[in-house]
Amino acid sequence: MSQIIKPKSISGFPEWLPAERYIELKWFDTIREIFESYGFCSIETPSVEALEVLTAKGEVDKEIYVIERLHKEDGEKEARLALHFDQTVPMARYVAQNFNELKFPFKRYQMQRVWRGERPQAGRFREFYQCDIDVINVDNLPLYFDAECPAIMVEILQKLDIGSFKMQLNNRKILAGFCQALGIDDFVPVTRIVDKLEKIGADNVKKQLLTELSLSDAQANQILSFASIKSSDDGFAKAVRDLGVSHPTLDEGIDELVFVINTLNNLVKGNFEVDMSIVRGLDYYTGTVYETRFTDAPSYGSICSGGRYEDLAGNYINKKLPGVGISIGFSRLFDYIRAQGKLPKGRQSPADMLIVLFDESQRLWAIDLAKQLRNGEFLAAGRKMNVEIYHSATKLKKQLSYASEKGIPYVVFPPADPGGMPELKFMDDPDRAQEALTKLTGF
């Protein structure tokens, strides 16, 4: 025998046991079903892009993995390729490249793995799934989509039953206009500091505004008052205006966010909060921004974020392509619920039924029955069943324990007399009773 290599997981590259994967797949199905129910189409891009595409925006703060052929010959020239670190950059390249083939507004979803070579820790992986939706249009994009996108994500998070969470909204124009009204021309450094409010607290934010940006005490106080404004409806508008500053960009941002929060509250109930401290550190957002946190674990960070950008693909094409998008950090969300022990109980087989064999002579009968059950020809309303046939006519106890250990809810016994009806036995696992019954009866 050759040398034994100890099989182990690689830090930051998660993989799940079959019963966990069973639930992960159900989550993906739910997400996809809801994305599609709003008419978003699926695309996938390759896992790799030319390195120059990934670094086109200049400085990249994500740790990129490059790939290289192990047996590359010396001096062999090949384009440098790297694994994508998000789905936005590849989508921008895709939209520019296929501009003439796509119909706009282009509404797409993308559920793929992305890679970042960051130091792994709880909730931060090196390989993970993201589930993104974006809407892209040419020249102008209706503000309606700034509400539809987060509404879809909240519908999904509600359906996944992840516990209490809050999606926080803001509009970067509000802070930009507010700063300009205060005489602060460049608001980006202000967003970087305000972004840390939750983490370092109001006192430290004020200190940094004073020392790092040389703001006056009055300016810093105004910004802190501003950043503390929250509301679950359009009440934030009055609170901001009550601070007594005025600017066209501020007004524009307020009007947009009022429209978005009111439309949102029509689309899906609950879970939203306008929060003036949410600014997203990323420079490319220009309007509405979103972040989502667990109510009881805000420090875990955002599990669903995004925003509006004025120009998606300016690096690749001479068209103005504004968009709005939002992304679920799928793996970190799933892993959080998993680590808390709050995942529903999965199972190691998707089979609904196991046909047991008393005697090898029953195999042909079993094959035929399994075919009918799989094709929906046996049960009412064409319900299709996933069916395993036990592989040998061994002791019944062994066959039943196989069903039990794999979580297969029903066992089918061959008829006592040839031509008789098979008998159906429910394995009586309360955790799976409802799921099994619904599949069998439709109720």
Residues of this chain, 52-71, that bind a second copy according to CB under 8 A: 52-53, 56-58, 63-71
Checking 260-267 for CB contacts under 8 A at 24+ apart, the result is 260/143, 260/146, 260/147, 260/169, 260/171, 260/288, 261/147, 261/169, 261/233, 261/234, 261/236, 262/233, 262/234, 263/144, 263/147, 263/148, 264/147, 264/150, 264/151, 264/169, 265/233, 267/147, 267/148, 267/151
* Residues in region 87-126 near a second copy by CB under 8 A: 93-94, 96-98, 101-103, 105, 107-108, 113, 115, 117
Which span sits near a second copy by CB under 8 A: 185-193, 213-221, 349-357, 422-430? 349-357
Q: Which CB, 1 or 218, lies closer to a second copy?
A: 1
Is the backbone peptide bond immediately before 46 cis, with ω within 30 degrees of 0?
no
Q: Which CB, 294 or 402, lies closer to a second copy?
A: 402
Q: Which CB, 23 or 227, lies closer to a second copy?
A: 23
Q: Which CB, 53 or 260, lies closer to a second copy?
A: 53
Fill in the DSSP letter of residue 2: -
Taking CB under 8 A as the criterion, the residue among 44, 161, 377, 431 binding a second copy is 44
Fill in the DSSP letter of residue 324: E
At its nearest, how many Å lie between a second copy and the CB of residue 184?
Answer: 26
The answer to whether the beta carbons of residues 304 and 92 sit under 8 Å apart is no
At its nearest, how many Å lie between a second copy and the CB of residue 342?
Answer: 20
18 is a site residue for a second copy (CB under 8 A): yes
* Residues in region 150-189 near a second copy by CB under 8 A: none
At its nearest, how many Å lie between a second copy and the CB of residue 301?
Answer: 22
* Residues in region 301-340 near a second copy by CB under 8 A: 313-318
Which span sits near a second copy by CB under 8 A: 137-145, 169-177, 209-217, 413-421? 137-145
Q: Which CB, 64 or 282, lies closer to a second copy?
A: 64
At its nearest, how many Å lie between a second copy and the CB of residue 323?
Answer: 13
Taking CB under 8 A as the criterion, the residue among 87, 131, 134, 145 binding a second copy is 145
At its nearest, how many Å lie between a second copy and the CB of residue 431?
Answer: 17
Alpha helices in 188-291 (DSSP H): 188-194, 197-211, 217-227, 236-241, 248-267
Taking CB under 8 A as the criterion, the residue among 274, 303, 337, 354 binding a second copy is 354
Spatial CB neighbours of 172, under 8 Å, sequence gap ≥ 6: 191, 253, 279, 280, 285, 286, 287, 288, 289, 307
Taking CB under 8 A as the criterion, the residue among 364, 395, 419, 420 binding a second copy is 364
At its nearest, how many Å lie between a second copy and the CB of residue 317?
Answer: 7
Q: Which CB, 294 or 410, lies closer to a second copy?
A: 410
Q: Which CB, 64 or 243, lies closer to a second copy?
A: 64
Residue 283 tokens, joined? 């420079």
Rg (C-alpha) for the chain, rounded Å, is: 27
- Max CA separation in the chain (angstroms): 93
Which span sits near a second copy by CB under 8 A: 32-40, 217-225, 270-278, 295-303? 32-40
Taking CB under 8 A as the criterion, the residue among 25, 200, 339, 433 binding a second copy is 25
Residue 41 half-sphere exposure toward CB, CA atoms < 13 A = 9
At its nearest, how many Å lie between a second copy and the CB of residue 404?
Answer: 10
The contact pattern for a second copy, residues 381-420, with x = CB under 8 A and - = no contact, is ---xxxxx--xx---------x--xx-x------------
At its nearest, how many Å lie between a second copy and the CB of residue 279?
Answer: 24
Taking CB under 8 A as the criterion, the residue among 3, 211, 214, 299 binding a second copy is 3
Distance, CA of 319 to CA of 219 (rounded, Å)? 39
DSSP string across 98-121: TTTT--SSEEEEEEEEEE--PPPB
Q: Which CB, 23 or 194, lies closer to a second copy?
A: 23
The answer to whether the beta carbons of residues 166 and 283 sit under 8 Å apart is no
* Residues in region 226-285 near a second copy by CB under 8 A: 266-267
Total residues interacting with a second copy, rule: CB under 8 A: 100
Please return the burial class of 399, using the count of CB atoms within 10 Å of its CB with bins 0-12, 13-18 and 19+: buried
**Measuring CA to CA, how many Å separate 252 from each of 90, 173, 246, 285, 304?**
31, 7, 11, 15, 25
Spatial CB neighbours of 201, under 8 Å, sequence gap ≥ 6: none
**Phi and psi torsions of 231, nearest 5°:** -165, 150
The answer to whether the beta carbons of residues 405 and 428 sit under 8 Å apart is no
At its nearest, how many Å lie between a second copy and the CB of residue 384?
Answer: 7
